[in-house]
A = this chain, B = another copy of it.
Amino acid sequence: MHKIQAFDDCVSELSRLPGIGPKTASRLAMHLLKMKPEDVRRLSEHLIAFKEKTVSCNICGGISENDVCPICRDSYRNTGILCVVEEAKDLFVIEQTGYFKGRYHVLGGKISPLDGVGPDNLRIANLADRIVQENIGEVIIATNPDVDGETTAAYLIRIMKKYPKLKITKLASGIAIGTHIEYADEITVVRALEGRREIC
What residue of chain B has the Cβ atom nearest to residue A7's Cβ?
B50
B30 touches A87 (CB 8 A): yes
Among A9, A44, A63, the one with the most B-chain Cβ atoms within 10 Å of its Cβ is A44
In the assembled complex, which residues on chain B have CB atoms less than 8 Å from the CB atom of A48?
A: 40-41, 44
Partner of A5 from B32, B44, B65, B96 at Cβ < 8 Å: B65
User: Given B13, B32, B43, which contacts A42 in the complex, CB threshold below 8 Å?
Assistant: B13
Flag if B54 contacts A6 (CB, 8 Å): yes
A53, B88: Cβ atoms under 8 Å? no
CB nearest to A72 among chain B residues: B2
Please classify how large the interface on chain A is, using the bins under 10, 10 to 19, 20 to 34, 35 or more.
35 or more
CA–CA, A29 to B3, complex, Å? 30
- A1 near B95 (CB under 8 angstroms)? yes
What residues on B are CB-neighbors of A71 within 8 Å? 2
Q: A3 to B64: give the CA distance in the assembly, Å.
A: 9
Q: Is the CB of B10 within 8 A of A63?
A: no
Q: Which residues of B are found within 8 Å of A24, using beta-carbon distances?
A: 19
The interface residues of chain B lying within 8 Å CB-to-CB of A29 are: 50
> CB within 8 Å of B: which of A31-70?
31-33, 35, 37, 39-54, 63-65, 69-70
Rounded to whole angstroms, the CA-CA distance of A32 and B27 in the bound complex is 20
Flag if A17 contacts B28 (CB, 8 Å). Answer: yes
Measured CA separation A52–B63 after assembly (Å): 33
- In Å, the complex CA distance between A179 and B37 comes to 40
User: Do B51 and A2 have beta carbons less than 8 Å apart?
Assistant: no
